[in-house]
Every structure is written in C-alpha cells, then in structure tokens.
Amino acid sequence: MPLRVARVSWRLLLLGFLFLVCAAGLVGRLAHLQIVSHGHYAVEAEDEHLGIEKVLPPRGAILDRNGFPLALTLDAYDILIDRKAWQDEERARKGAEALSPLLNRAPEEIRSALGPETEGDYLLAGGLDYDLGQKIVALGLPGVKASPTLKRFYPEGDLASGLLGFLGRDKVGLAGLEADLQQELGGVPGTLYFERDSLGNPIPFGYRRLEEPQPSVDVKLTIDRYIQRVAEQQLDATIEKQGASGGTIIVMDPNTGAILAMASRPSFKLSDLNLNDEGRMELYRNRAVTDLYEPGSVMKVVTMATAVDLGVITPNTTYVDTGLASVPGGEIVNWDFSVNGVQTMTQVLQKSLNTGAVWVSQQIGPEHFYEYIKRFGFGELTHVGLGGEAAGEVRTSDDPEWYPVDLATNSFGQGISVTPLQMITAVATIANGGQLVQPYIVQEIVGPQENRVFKPVAVRRVISESTARTLRGMMQEVVEGNPSHLAHVPGYRVAGKTGTSYISVGGGYAPDITIASFVGFVPADDPQMIVLIKIDKPQNETLGGMVAAPVFAALAPQILTYLGIRPDAPPMVQQGG
Amino acid sequence: MSALDRLIPRPLSRPLSQPLSLRPVLLGAFLVIALVGLLQVVQTSGVTSTGYSLRSLEQERLARQAQVHQLEAEVAALTSMERIESEARGRLGMVAPAEVETLEVHKQPPAQQLIPQRYFPEAAESTPKAGSWQQRLLRLLPFH
C-alpha cells in the first residue's frame, strides 16, 4: 500500500513560522540582555543592590599643653526632608507636626522652609544632638531622613577661635588649625559597601565589605588655656579702653619657641559662625602670622644687637644728638623732636632716639645691616605651621627699589614690614642667648598607632651670647632705668622696648594713626617668658609706652604667678630664722 | 506426595518481592519535603533574627560611643575655666585679687607634716561577700 503523506495546511505553517520568529526574537533578546549587555546590567544591578556609605573616623581632639580639651567631637544627626515624599499634603502635615516640638519650630515654618522645589533632599536641621536625632529616627516619619554626622564642641567657648579655626559642612577643616592639621585630625574616611534591600537597609549576611578608615589623632598644642584667656581678656579690655581697631598679643617661651598664647582681634566667634556671610571672611585669618606692620622703635634693639655683635659699638659708646640726622634723600628727626646732646647707646634705647638709631646704622653699613636683618628671620617664613603666614617685606641694598634713606628708616623700624610673630621671635633671640628658635604651636600628636612629640628647633645662631647678654642689660635699663615706665612688674626685672609706628597711607604716613607696641621679657637675667603686645590705631593714646606697655604690666604678673616663676628682684619682706 | 514433589523445593507461601504500597511512600516523601522546608524556614528565620540582632547591637554600640563622647564633653565643660570662674564668683563669692604681693620666706619647712589620725577617713570594710558555694569554688580556681 503506498505511503500517504499528510498535506499540511499553509495556515498552520504560517502560524508555526510566526511562533518561530517570536521565539527567535525572545531568544535573541535574552541573549542580548544576558550576554551582550551583561556588564551594563550587572553594574546597574550592583548600583541598585549595593549601598555605599562613607565611614568617618571620629575627629581628633585639640588639647592645650596640659591636656584640657579646646575642641572635641560629638555624634550628631542631620535631618533631611525628601521633598518628593512630602509632596503628599497629609504626609507633610503630619511630619511637620511631629517634628515641630522636637525642633522647636512651627510646622508652617518647617513646611515653608522646603521651598518650591519638588525634588531632592532639604537639610532641615544640621548637627542635632544625638539623643534628639534618635528620637526623630524612632518616629519613623516618611520622607524624613536622619543622617549620622559629627559636630565640634568647644568646652572653653570662643577661646582661641582664630587659632583653632572651624569645620565646613562636609566636616573638613576650613580655617585655622582645623584646616592646617586636617590630615591628622580628620584621619582618612573609610567606605562601607553593603548589599541592601529595597528600603536601603543592609541585608543580614549579605555582601559586606569595609575599607577601614584611618584613625584620626589628638593634637596637643603648646597653648596654655589660662594664659590664652588672660591674654584675650587684656587685649579686649585694651582695645575697648583705647578705642583701637584691633591688636595682637603673643606669649612665647623664648628658650624653646613654644607659643603659650596667641590672640588677635578682630576675630570671629566659634559660637556664632555664619559661613554664608562673606563680610566676615576677613575675620577668619590669624593676624599674628598673616598681617604685616612696620614695627617702629622695637626694631632698634635689632639694630643695636647687630652693631654690638659686629663690635662697632658698646652700650657706653656715645654720639651727639642734634635732633636731626641728615641722610641722602631726607632728614630724620626724633619722635618727640627732642635734642639731647651726648647720648650713650643705652640712652638711645631708653629715649628711643631715631637719630641715634640712624647713627648706629651708618656705623654698621647697609651690607652688614641687611645680613643681620635676614639672620634675625625677617623676610622669611618662621615655619610655625600656621596657614597663611606672611614672610614680610624687606628691601635690601641689593633691591633696585632700595634707597640709602631706607637704611636710616629701617634702623628704627619704618619702611620694613614684619609679622608680629617674626618680631617676637627676633627679640626672643636676644632673650635666649643669641639663637633664632623656630616658633611652634603643636607640642604632641597622640593617636592609637603613633605618638609624636615635637622638639624645639634652633634655626641658627644670630648673635653671640655676649652680645645677647649686653642687649638684655640695655633693654633692662629701658624699663628698670625709668621709674615711670609703665611696663614695671613688681618683684621682677623686666627687659623690653616700646614701639610707635606710623601707618603707611598712599606713599606717606598718616600723622595721627599709629600702631603701638611693646616687646618685653622677664626675668631679665634669665628670661622665661616673652610677650609682644601690638595695638592697632588706638584713639585715646597713641604711643607704645602709654598703650602697650601697661598691658604687659597687667598681663605679666598673672602669667608669672601661674607659671610659678620666682621673682628676681630683691624680696619685699625677709623673714629670718 | 510423590518423590518428585520431595525433590522440587516447595515454593514460599509469599513471593520474595512484593510491590510496596503507595501511601507510605507518599507520606514519607511528604514528611521529608516538609522537614527540609521547615529546616530552610528555621535557618532563614535564624539568620534574619541574628542579622537584626547584629544590627541592634551595632546601633547600641554606636549609641554607647555617642554617650561616651557626650560624657567626655560634659567633663570638659565642667572643668572649663568659664564654669570654674562662674562657680567661684557666683556660688563661692570669690573675687579676683586686687594685687598680688610676693613674700620670700627664708625658713625651712618642717621635715614631716603630721596630720592627726582623726582627720583621716575611716577605712572601708574589705571583707568580700560569701556568695554561693559555686562562686566560692570558682574563686579557688587559678584563672578566676
């Protein structure tokens, strides 16, 4: 019997063909998704399933030299509102009402603060206390996110604000020591990768990988909180009393360069930071190292030290003061227009005679004079480690813009610009026996894995010990040799020099605007402490001796008693056995 | 019986292999599946609760850490100079000295400063509590 072949209907064939085409399409699409685009979708899946969190190490503390905290870190919360989630009227109303008593803000104020935008997160409250943040977390309000963060706490209030600086919104130091020591204080953030669910919560025993943060360290400063406080109080009182525009006080150990206090005004308050106010930007710098000024007669001690070290003068060398010194390009007069006749070099310092300083500079000569100016550290950074430090402006005889009159004016501190820190460091050279020491403010770094102690650094010998001793004696005569000097400290022999410099204005000097200063160290024979006081544009009095010297007399006894430095003057009362 | 019947072994009353009943097999399979499923559920449940316990402990650790930081800040605030001054002035009625006089005394201090015994605090009792016999036994162990 012949085999009969079933005839297949063309409709069936067509249907089968269509199914085949669709199946091929599906298979092709699957192959494209699974094989060709595998990488792309794997990344998308990873983005969807993988959560990434920055892990901040607790920020290191800033301590004073005795270990008292000046800046600490507290755990806190930032409260953010998801604008999209709060588009729902009922949800927003309930959320605002729940947050209102906790944030002490009216519900309407909370809702209106979000603005017209409908997307993105809005920072409703930053740096909330941890406990308060936990209460908000516990409420579980839709659209309300509590993001863990850190905030700084200052136990001493606004003390040393210009020195400490502050953090930005991203918890990175923006100014002061917070910025200069960001690497030490901030550590290095780590990263946590974790598998998350649809709500963003980590999946238990899911993928988890932690790149450990590098721990931060605590920084112990050379600053003493008590000395810093009395310095700031005296500075504020003097500025108010004299109607001044600002000022600086630096207290330093002349033998090591350790800075015990550094106060400058105007400055900002840590308790009242407003980073959005651009008008406050100028308050954020540390004027003790950034601002230049012409030091005036304080520079005469440097001129004298140079001349003594070169052997061209002694304290008893004399010259004839006619009240006028003629130099190429001009005539120099004394600050009080006095004419004093025969004067010793000690008397030049005591009476602060400009003509005497000019005479001494002429004995030295420009080459040696500027060599010693550089050796005393002027015109170069002190490398104290504070940001924004200025090197100062010194025109030497090698500069094309230098004129012979500059030697004369530089000898009494005009026409040369220095920072307050440079000036006190230079005079400290005389106090400590002739070594230029590097000022420093970080005493120790204390961390879980490291502990670094910073030792004093002697940069170079500037003058001989004999010269330093001679200048100490001359400076002691300036204060102790004048019974009416306002820098006297009962029980102690003080060595110092006042300065009154005029402020350069448009190529000349304003006659009634001064910078009044005083640099002194005590005890004179064995200095343990050196203080620089600089008051800017005092209104009531203008002279260094009237404005700055009394500050030293008020400040020094408190510090000397606190440091337990014995008096070196004859005892007031003697009690025998 | 014939001799032939005696030579041929008598067949068993019951065949060696007999098909098993389906019901016990199904029951057994169902029990195994149920057991496996139950184990899976128990394991997953255990993992999940452990995971949540871990999260809870982590949160507690963070809370304790925050508490430690807060306490450190409170200690620092209590020892701040501003607080000390305000307590000294406000609560103790102290004032800053108007002037400081320095007196130098050229006399040696006594070699030993004797404080009468009555000013020393009473020594606290140091006898430990007896505790249970197990605790007493544990105390005898060298590593306790």
Map B32-74 to HEC letters. HHHHHHHHHHHHHHHHHHHHHHHHHHHHHHHHHHHHHHHHHHH
* Model confidence pLDDT, tens digit, residues B63-112: 898 999 999 999 999 999 999 999 999 999 999 887 777 777 777 777 77
Contacts of A490 in chain B (CB under 8 A): 102
Angle between helices A89-103 and A130-139 (to 10 degrees): 150
> Which two structure tokens, joined as six digits, stand for A410?
């530089």
Contacts of A204 in chain B (CB under 8 A): 47-48, 50-52, 54-55
Residue of A nearest to B75 (CA): A155
CA–CA distance, A171 with A56 (Å, rounded to integer):
9
Flag the least confident range among A226-235, A380-389, B66-75, B92-101: B92-101
CB-count burial class (<10 Å; 0-12, 13-18, 19+) for A69: buried
- Does B104 contact A574 at a Cβ distance shorter than 8 Å? yes
Residue A286 neighbours by CB under 8 Å, 6+ apart: A162, A163, A176, A262, A264, A386, A387, A388
- Under 8 Å between Cβ of A572 and B101: yes
- Does A204 contact B107 at a Cβ distance shorter than 8 Å? no
Place of tokens 């404080």: B115
- Does A577 contact B54 at a Cβ distance shorter than 8 Å? no
Continuous H helices in A311-418:
345-351, 354-364, 366-375, 404-411
CA–CA distance, A310 with A307 (Å, rounded to integer):
5
**φ/ψ bin of A250: left (φ > 0), alpha (ψ from -120 to 50), beta (otherwise):** beta
Decide which of A287 and B105 is more confident. Answer: A287
CA–CA distance, A483 with A464 (Å, rounded to integer):
30
Contacts of B77 in chain A (CB under 8 A): 155
CB within 8 Å of chain B, chain A residues 165-204: 202-204
Instruction: Enter the pTM of the model.
Output: 0.81
Asked if residue A70 has pLDDT above 50, the reply is yes
- Does A204 contact B47 at a Cβ distance shorter than 8 Å? yes
- Please, which pLDDT band fits residue A549 given cuts at 50, 70 and 90? very high
Helix (H) or strand (E) holding A145, with range, is strand A144-153
* Model confidence pLDDT, tens digit, residues B117-127: 777 676 665 55
User: Mean pLDDT throughout A235-245?
Assistant: 96
- Under 8 Å between Cβ of A264 and A287: yes
Instruction: Report the 10 Å Cβ neighbour count for B52.
Output: 12
Q: CA quadruple A121, A124, A281, A441: dihedral positive or negative?
A: negative
**φ/ψ bin of A268: left (φ > 0), alpha (ψ from -120 to 50), beta (otherwise):** beta
- Does A577 contact B47 at a Cβ distance shorter than 8 Å? no
Instruction: Report the 10 Å Cβ neighbour count for A428.
Output: 25
How confident is the model at residue A3, as a pLDDT? 57
The 3-state DSSP class for residue A245 equals: coil
> Which two structure tokens, joined as six digits, stand for A574?
């003697």
How confident is the model at residue A572, as a pLDDT? 47
Continuous H helices in A459-548:
465-480, 544-547
* Model confidence pLDDT, tens digit, residues A345-370: 999 999 999 999 999 999 999 999 99
* CB nearest B106 (choices: A68, A561, A575): A575
Interface ipTM: 0.78
Q: Nearest CA to A441 among A163, A113, A209?
A: A163
Contacts of B54 in chain A (CB under 8 A): 204
Asked if residue B115 has pLDDT above 80, the reply is no
Interface test with A, best of B60, B104, B107 (most A CBs within 10 A): B104
- Does B80 contact A157 at a Cβ distance shorter than 8 Å? yes
DSSP tag of A122? E
Place of tokens 């015994």: B117
Contacts of B69 in chain A (CB under 8 A): 58, 72-75
Structural domains of chain A sorted by starting position, each given as residue range(s) with its CATH number in brackets = 73-154 (3.90.1310.10), 225-268+290-563 (3.40.710.10)
The chain-wide mean pLDDT, for chain B, equals: 79
The 3-state DSSP class for residue A98 equals: helix
